[in-house]
């Protein structure tokens, strides 16, 4: 397989969506699409699998709830029980209504912060990482589709010209 790709630039998101659908229908492999803003339905048009990030969010929330429960049980029942407002300090279940705000806040805290960390790790983003954007115009007003060359270059170039491309370039990938 060749290590060449075609960079196809579009100037409208609707034209890009039609081009992606035609490209997938023609059985060409789209390596990546770079857009200046999220394009609704692009992941489905490319045939990408649904994300499992909601499962991670639920797990992180359960971890936060568990930490909150264990922390409050240890602090308020075992380590330093206090009689606050006449509430009994010997039972966690009898005090639980007072603990609900803390449980909610730690659930949200853990889910949010661990989701951000997961997103950065999954996206391979870290401090001081160089940008991997192939064309700076995709941060402003253009859309770039990167397609692997698996056959005749000239045929692919004419195919993408018919999809409404503004610019087509063949790039050698390292």
* CATH number for position 168: 3.30.70.1150
d(CA 57, CA 51) in angstroms, rounded, equals 12
Q: Give the per-residue pLDDT at 87.
A: 66
Is 143 in contact with 20 (CB distance < 8 Å)? no
92-122 vs 53-72: helix axis angle to the nearest 10? 140
Whether the pLDDT of residue 91 is over 80: the answer is no
Are residues 66 and 30 part of one domain? no
Express as a percent the part of the chain with pLDDT over 90. 56
Is 28 in contact with 41 (CB distance < 8 Å)? no
**∠ CA(64), CA(121), CA(141), 5° rounding?**
115
Q: Give the per-residue pLDDT at 124.
A: 87
> Does 28 reside within a domain?
yes
**pLDDT digit string, tens, across residues 9-63:** 999 999 999 999 999 999 999 999 999 999 999 999 999 998 888 999 999 999 9
pTM over 0.75: no
């Amino acid at each position: 397989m060749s290590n060449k790709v075609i960079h196809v630039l579009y100037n409208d998101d609707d034209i890009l969506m039609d081009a992606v659908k035609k490209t997938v229908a023609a059985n060409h492999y789209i390596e990546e699409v770079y857009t200046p803003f999220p394009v609704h339905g692009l992941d489905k048009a490319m045939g990408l699998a649904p994300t499992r990030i909601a499962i991670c969010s639920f797990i992180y929330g359960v971890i936060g709830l568990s930490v909150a429960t264990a922390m409050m049980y240890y602090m308020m029942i075992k380590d330093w029980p206090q009689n606050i407002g006449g509430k009994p300090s010997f039972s966690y279940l009898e005090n639980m209504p007072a603990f609900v705000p803390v449980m909610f806040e730690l659930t949200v805290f853990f889910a949010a912060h661990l989701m951000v960390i997961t997103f950065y790790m999954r996206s391979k983003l870290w401090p001081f990482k160089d940008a991997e954007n192939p064309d700076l115009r995709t941060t402003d007003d253009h859309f770039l589709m990167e397609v692997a060359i698996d056959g005749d270059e000239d045929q692919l170039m004419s195919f993408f010209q018919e999809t409404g491309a503004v610019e087509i370039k063949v790039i050698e990938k390292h």
